[in-house]
Amino acid sequence: MTEPRDAVELEGITKTFPGVVANDDVDLTVREGEIHAIVGENGAGKSTLMKILYGMQSPDDGVIRIRGDVVHFRSPKDAIARGIGMVHQHFMLADNLTVLENLVLGSEPRRGPALDFESARTRIVELGSLYGMPLDPDELVETLTVGERQRVEILKVLYRGADILILDEPTAVLVPQEVDELFKNLRRLKDEGVTILFISHKLEEVLAIADSITVMRQGRTVATVSPADVDVHQLAELMVGSELPTPETTESTVTDVVELSVVGLGSRNEDGRWDIEDITFDIHRGEVVGVAGVEGNGQSALVDTLLGVRRADAGSISLAGSDITEASTRDRRGAGVGIIPADRHRQGLLLPAPLWENAMLGHQWLVPYAKGPWVDKKGARDRTAEIIDRFGVIAPGPDVPAVALSGGNQQKLIVGREMIAEPSLLVAAHPTRGIDVGAQADVWDEIRNARRAGLAVLLISADLEELLGLSDTLYVIFRGRFVAQLDPRTVTPDELGAYMTGVGVSR
């Protein structure tokens, strides 16, 4: 074997977005045939850097070298031509096509005018056995597990001739057993000479798989280390600066007044299957109830049913003693239910509308946003300016469109508009997803302060640290049911993982 050379060299990469410098003079060197992890908090600039490397975005400044050649990618096509492939966090597969059809989609092999599936099938079987990822090419993608789908995505990239593989938070959607399987696959790929860039913010995983680790913080690379030289704590310190952000609430503020009481709640989807079933829990004033679970296990159905956006087909919901099971969304919001939706773009904001119209969303019938049937523009603008000021939203003023704000500031605006209305129950779904560390700490502080003032909070999150740190009580949701009630002070991540993947509910 020859001396390993550098597969990827990034030098002085800079990329700015409105209100944020996503990458600030970033240097990165990845040797041929290594697994190189890039770690950092949400919003540290990892994804942007990878999008630049994959040609999805062009840097404002800086040089990209692939195996020594300076390149300028205008689109992912150029990157693919250079042997770079990317597996996105969210799979881009057509469910109703077979594995084979998905793999060839976009680069269909032809023999004359006809598709040549036979040669593709042969290659896929070859690739699968070469890299230890056997897949039945004729199986429908919709029947595959999440782990298998990811394998299809990886094979798809390899099928296109990639030998530099970018994996964007590949473990985020996987259960622990599937993670082990993925790592086995990655090691095999490495043995076959594939270079792998592995993006993550899960430090244990990174230490287990990577040959070298680059840490990013606030758009910069702060260090490149070897996993042999660091432990989790040192790595975490590099990642967040001098100290870990501790979301831990100091003392219990739980009162004995029940604010929300849910009994036997169930909701069916259009196919008649129960998306959530038999869910029972109470939230007291001053209590944060956390819901842990792998995404897609009924969290969004739970939120929608609590908000009245979706029908409850079984059970009851009562808020401060009165039954709201049949109440409209509007009545529930009027009764003091605040919501930080999971997807701020799809459920939380009017992107092209000015901030003041966004601030009044969900409270549009209340003073100071409205005067009787009329919109009170002045009142709304003043209140928006107050939100911007009090919640540290970085924005030029209440008249700019929401689309001009960075994700973190959009999230702060949503948190601000809900908190300033002083709800009695806050349903917070992934309240800090995709926002930078500073904004995350602000949101946590807001939740903690409101909790002290007697707010009841339902916290749904994929960030275990957030859940364990903020929650007073923790439930685990699995396939639409609450399968465990745990004490966040004593539970271990392993225990939690077992329940989340269904291992802990063997009975």
Partner 1 sequence: MRRILLASLAPISAIVFSLIVASIALMLVGRSPITAFGAMWDFARTSTSVASMINRAVPLYISAVAVAVGFQMGLFNIGVEGQYLLAALFAGWVGGNIVLWAPLHIAVILAVAIIVGMTWSGIAGALKVTRGVHEVISTIMLNFIGFSVIAFLLLNYFKDPNGSSLNLATPPLPPSGQLPNLNWLFGALGFSEPRGIDLHGFAVFAIVVGVFYYLLVWRTRFGYELRASGINPGAARMAGVDPNRMIMNTMLISGGVAGLVGLAAVFGNLQSYTQDFPRNLGFNGIAVALLGRNHPVGMALGALLFGFMDRSALILDLKDTPKEVVTIMQGVVVLAVVIAYEVVNRFIERLEIRSAAEATREAVEGAAA
Residue with smaller CB distance to partner 1, 231 or 343: 343
Stretch of 217-225, 276-284, 367-375, 452-460 contacting partner 1, by CB under 8 A: 367-375
Stretch of 6-14, 72-80, 182-190, 344-352 contacting partner 1, by CB under 8 A: 344-352
Give the SS3 label for residue 249: coil
Taking only Cα atoms into account, the Rg of the chain, rounded to an integer number of angstroms, comes to 24
Q: How far is the CB of 332 from partner 1 (least distance, A)?
A: 8
Q: How far is the CB of 437 from partner 1 (least distance, A)?
A: 16
Q: How far is the CB of 383 from partner 1 (least distance, A)?
A: 14
Query: Of the candidates 92, 208, 367, 394, which one interacts with partner 1 according to CB under 8 A?
Result: 394
Stretch of 66-74, 256-264, 355-363, 496-504 contacting partner 1, by CB under 8 A: 355-363
Q: Give which of 226, 205, 213 is closest to 36, Cα–Cα.
A: 213
Query: Of the candidates 15, 332, 433, 448, which one interacts with partner 1 according to CB under 8 A?
Result: 332
Query: Of the candidates 71, 258, 353, 441, which one interacts with partner 1 according to CB under 8 A?
Result: 353
Number of H helices, E strands in the chain: 16, 24
- How many residues touch partner 1 (CB under 8 A)? 44
Q: Does 219 bind partner 1 (CB under 8 A)?
A: no
402 touches 351 (CB < 8 A)? yes
Cα(261)–Cα(281) distance, integer angstroms = 6
Q: Does 341 bind partner 1 (CB under 8 A)?
A: yes
Cα(131)–Cα(148) distance, integer angstroms = 14
Q: How far is the CB of 162 from partner 1 (least distance, A)?
A: 33
Residue 11, phi then psi, degrees to nearest 5: -135, 120
What residue type is 70 in one-letter code?
V
Stretch of 186-194, 226-234, 257-265, 372-380 contacting partner 1, by CB under 8 A: 372-380
Query: Of the candidates 373, 490, 494, 507, which one interacts with partner 1 according to CB under 8 A?
Result: 373
**For residues 293-312, which are near partner 1 according to CB under 8 A?**
307, 309
Q: Does 434 bind partner 1 (CB under 8 A)?
A: no
Q: How far is the CB of 232 from partner 1 (least distance, A)?
A: 33
Q: How far is the CB of 346 from partner 1 (least distance, A)?
A: 5
Q: How far is the CB of 145 from partner 1 (least distance, A)?
A: 28
For the chain, how far is it from start to end, CA to CA, in angstroms?
Answer: 52
Query: Of the candidates 400, 420, 441, 483, which one interacts with partner 1 according to CB under 8 A?
Result: 400
Query: Of the candidates 72, 96, 365, 449, which one interacts with partner 1 according to CB under 8 A?
Result: 365
Q: How far is the CB of 421 from partner 1 (least distance, A)?
A: 12
Cα(303)–Cα(295) distance, integer angstroms = 13
Q: Does 351 bind partner 1 (CB under 8 A)?
A: yes
Query: Of the candidates 33, 290, 293, 348, which one interacts with partner 1 according to CB under 8 A?
Result: 348
Structure tokens at 208: 């287990």
Cα(239)–Cα(218) distance, integer angstroms = 9
Cα(136)–Cα(116) distance, integer angstroms = 18
**Residue written as tokens 């530099």?**
164
Cα(291)–Cα(500) distance, integer angstroms = 10
423 touches 336 (CB < 8 A)? yes
375 touches 430 (CB < 8 A)? no
- Show Cβ contacts of residue 242 under 8 Å, excluding neighbours closer than 6 positions: none
391 touches 416 (CB < 8 A)? yes
Residue with smaller CB distance to partner 1, 137 or 408: 408
Query: Of the candidates 174, 194, 292, 405, which one interacts with partner 1 according to CB under 8 A?
Result: 405
Q: Does 429 bind partner 1 (CB under 8 A)?
A: no
Q: Does 334 bind partner 1 (CB under 8 A)?
A: yes
Q: Does 357 bind partner 1 (CB under 8 A)?
A: yes
Residue with smaller CB distance to partner 1, 235 or 337: 337
Residue 123: count of CB within 10 angstroms of its CB: 17
Q: Does 367 bind partner 1 (CB under 8 A)?
A: no
Q: How far is the CB of 268 from partner 1 (least distance, A)?
A: 18
Q: Any idea what the Cα angle at residue 70 is, between residues 67 and 75, rounded to 5°? A: 100
Q: Does 362 bind partner 1 (CB under 8 A)?
A: yes
Beta bridge partners of 429: 460
Give the SS3 label for residue 149: helix
Q: Does 170 bind partner 1 (CB under 8 A)?
A: no
Cα 176 to its chain centre, rounded Å, is 17
Distant-in-sequence contacts of 461-464, Cβ < 8 A, 24+ apart: 461/290, 461/291, 461/292, 461/428, 461/429, 461/430, 461/431, 461/432, 461/433, 462/172, 462/294, 462/295, 462/430, 462/433, 463/430, 463/432, 463/433, 464/292, 464/493, 464/496
Q: Does 370 bind partner 1 (CB under 8 A)?
A: yes
Query: Of the candidates 212, 234, 316, 364, which one interacts with partner 1 according to CB under 8 A?
Result: 364
Query: Of the candidates 4, 12, 17, 58, which one interacts with partner 1 according to CB under 8 A?
Result: 17
* Residues near partner 1 (CB under 8 A): 16-19, 307, 309, 328-334, 339, 341, 343, 346-353, 357, 360-365, 370, 373-375, 394-397, 400-401, 403-405
